[in-house]
Structure 1
Amino acid sequence: MTIHTFTLVLDRSPTDAEIDALFAAGCDDAAFGIDGGLPIAEFDRESATIADAIATAVRAVESVGLNALRLIDQDLVTLADIAQRVGQSRESIRRYVTGERGAGGFPPPVNPARDGTLFYRWSEVAPWLREHLDVSVPQVDPSLVVANLVLQARQHRGQVPHMAALSDLLAA
């Protein structure tokens, strides 16, 4: 088994009694606190897969009345973030994005119509970097991306007319 590290954002900070209940529910591999004003649970969970680790952690947290809202998202990155991760300048990465340099076909931003800072998905950028540049880029586990989307979708499911149509898309 592998130890998987991830951080859940909670709907609120647990009380002392809830902390005790969380440890009894199997969250003895978690640290609870505040990060950037957000209540969080940092897990180092042993499991066969990251998907299993996240699912069991969410179920344990929710068994005591807390809600897991999302994972701390390491997937959204700016050009500066990309540059830092691969040890290049922001300008160098910008030139790959615009096609002034390299093979072209850099993954598009997730917010192309926005003025100001553009965001990219690391899970899309990393494979491109591995393929087109001579840089060491760690593998990205898509389970983290999917788990985060599922947690966020759960928050809005009661507000979406005919949610079953969208759930069916995920199941297909």
Structure 2
Amino acid sequence: MMPVFQFRMVVDTPPTDAQAVALVGLPDTPGVEVAPEEQVGVVWFDRAAPRLATAIVSATHDLERVGLRPIRVEPRDEVTIPEAASRLGRPEEWFRTWLTGTFGEPGAPVPVSMRPAGRERFFSWDDIEVWTRERLDPGVPDGPPVLTAAALVLRLRRVGRGVDGLPELLSLVDIRP
């Protein structure tokens, strides 16, 4: 059975109605979200592929076929407070007080789903990771290396066309196992 990878891709403009319909008609039926305050769109994928990199490449091509330009890829998964604390190497109760307890602050991530996991609610890992890095600990590591690499490639695609000497700069990419 082929694994299914969950991620979201931010596109440079909100999708039109026709683009959203075309995306929802894809085999993996991605979800589409518009973020008007940021003037971007977000497309959520559950993409079956042998590897995450393959899933990201095929999603990028699908977005481009409907006229959207992906500018960022992000992980998409939901976690409980204990799971988030474990990923961050922090005590659960310390983390809980920052999110929901006495240290709770405006702008802290809120549950994305009212679906409880026992007594726990689910939060977006992306939101927790970014918020923790910005507010509590700038040393929080980046996501999986393949997502970091994909984000860099998408950014290079966006800015690279206007870079004088790009082939020379690309010669610096020497990745050996």
Q: State TM-score, norm by structure 1.
A: 0.60
Q: Specify the alignment match of 2:139 in structure 1.
A: 120
Which residue matches 2:168? Answer: 165
Secondary structure, aligned partner of 1:72: strand
Q: Does 1:11 align with 2:12?
A: yes
1:98-120: CA deviation from partner (whole Å, max 9, x where unpaired): xxxxxxxxxxxxxxxxxx98633
In structure 2, what is the Cα distance between the partners aligned to 1:170 and 1:34? 35
2:167 and 2:139 mapped to 1: Cα distance?
29
Letter in 2 for 1:29: T
Question: Which of 48, 51, 59 lines up with 2:50 in the alignment?
Answer: 48
2:69 matched to which residue of 1? 67
What letter corresponds to residue 19 of structure 1 in structure 2?
A: A
Per-residue deviation, 1:17: 1.3
Runs of 4+ off more than 4 Å: 81-84
Indicate the residue corresponding to 2:109 in structure 1: none
Letter aligned with residue 20 of structure 1: V
> Identity of aligned pairs, percent?
27
Q: What whole-Å deviation, never above 9, does each CA across 1:110-153 have from its counterpart, x for those lacking one?
A: xxxxxx98633524xxxxxxxxxxxxxxxx63111100111111
Pair 1:27–1:13, CA change in 2 (3 A): farther
The superposition leaves residues 37-76 of structure 1 with CA deviations (integer Å, 9 ceiling, x where unpaired) of 44100111011000000000001101111100011379xx
**Do the aligned partners of 1:10 and 1:69 also contact (CA within 8 Å) in 2?**
yes
- What is the rounded CA distance, in whole Å, between the counterparts of 2:53 and 2:140 in structure 1? 19
What residue ranges of structure 1 are gaps of 5+ in the alignment? Answer: 75-80, 91-115, 124-139
CA change 1:6–1:22 in 2 (3 A) is: same
In structure 2, give the amino acid aligned to 1:14: P
Structure-2 change in CA distance of 1:153 and 1:119 (3 Å): farther
Structure-1 separation of matches of 2:87 and 2:56: 28
Question: Which one-letter code corresponds to 1:162 in the other structure?
Answer: G
Q: What is the Cα deviation at residue 18 of structure 1?
A: 1.4
What letter is aligned with 1:2? P
Structure 2 spans left out of the alignment, 5+ residues = 77-83, 96-134
1:10 shift after superposition? 0.6
Measured in 2, the distance between the counterparts of 1:30 and 1:163 equals 34
TM-score w.r.t. length of structure 2: 0.58
Alpha carbons 2:12, 2:69 under 8 Å: kept: yes
